[in-house]
Structure 1
Amino acid sequence: MIRFIKIILFVTGISCFCFFSSQAFAKNRVLTDVKVIHASTGSKKIDQNLNKIIPELKSVFKYTSYRLLKDQKLNLRFNEKGRVDLPGQRTLFVIPSNMKGKRIHYQINIQKNKHPVFKTQVLLKNNSSITIGGPQFKNGVLLFNISGSVQ
């Protein structure tokens, strides 16, 4: 009977350890969503897939047309490089480097033909998004809406 109790306690201890350690490891994941948007003036076309962020876009940018080119979800560890291929032989790299309070610190780099052309850092409130302007593209510009959530 004592052996049975020891086995139950051991299994319970292992189960608790696995549960709590998986919770700790899960917090090292950053779910990142990158929307690549072509913004331009002239026409007044707005992609319906952007309806949730159009008020933010219109309050910051003075474009009249917004078209979603790509919506890529990345599940990254801290300091892991996420890659998003862009039009015009460009590549966007998004790297969540750490947490500062309740904000995710991201490093954002753009390369064209494997040469760096843009580099910045942002602090993004957990479970929110930010839109940053990018390079010119087809009579407009590329915008990047980046949202992040630490899990």
Structure 2
Amino acid sequence: MIRLIKILLILAGIFCFFSQPALAKNRVLTDVKVIHASTGPNYVDPSLKEIISELKSVFKYTSYRLLKDQNLDQRFNQESRVNLPGKRVLVVMPSGMEGKRIRYQINIQKNNRSIFQTRVLLKNNSSITIGGPQFKNGVLLFNISGSVQ
């Protein structure tokens, strides 16, 4: 019985050793849209037409303006930074896969201090929108899409 456990542990170690380099070779194409949402006059930025129905179904704002659209070419466990209004920085890091989902760690920093942290599981080749901090009589929203190559 002990010998069987040792063999299983050795096999598990070999599997982990050989599977990590394969994971490290994968590219993760991440797109981050920074959106200012508010209850101001009705306005929808034309560049948000592909996701506006999703935004309106989840958030109850009347105005959606795209502030930034940044494409990131990443590897797993590689941080990328997106500058935000209000001297903030969005740090996005794909940290691995869980089945067919990309695991992201998301962090908002101000003055090099973390003010918000979360983790999301994003279905490969899809997107998610998360709410962020208040900004100019509204809030910042982050639409994050990811695709493993």
Distance in 1, matches of 2:116 and 2:26, equals 27
Q: Which runs of 5+ in 2 are unaligned?
A: 1-21
Please show how residues 2-151 of structure 1 align to structure 2 within 5 Å.
28-151=26-149
- Contact 2:24 2:75 survives alignment (8 Å): no
Shift in alpha-carbon separation, 1:58–1:27, aligned structure 2, 3 A: farther
For residues 35-86 of structure 1, the C-alpha deviation after alignment (integer angstroms, 9 at most, x for no partner) is 0000000210110000000000000000000000000000000000011000
Distance in 2, matches of 1:32 and 1:75, equals 6
Distance in 1, matches of 2:24 and 2:130, equals 28
- Contact 2:39 2:138 survives alignment (8 Å): yes
TM-score, with structure 1 as normaliser: 0.82
TM-score, with structure 2 as normaliser: 0.84
Shift of 1:27: 5.7
Paired residue type of 1:120: T
Paired residue type of 2:60: K
Alignment-derived partner of residue 17 in structure 1: none
Shift in alpha-carbon separation, 1:112–1:64, aligned structure 2, 3 A: same
- Contact 1:77 1:96 survives alignment (8 Å): yes
Structure 1 segments (4+ residues) deviating >4 Å: 24-27
- Contact 1:27 1:150 survives alignment (8 Å): no
For residues 73-119 of structure 1, the C-alpha deviation after alignment (integer angstroms, 9 at most, x for no partner) is 00000000011000000000000000100000000000011111000
Distance in 1, matches of 2:25 and 2:138, equals 38
Distance in 1, matches of 2:144 and 2:114, equals 20
| RMSD of aligned alpha carbons | 1.2
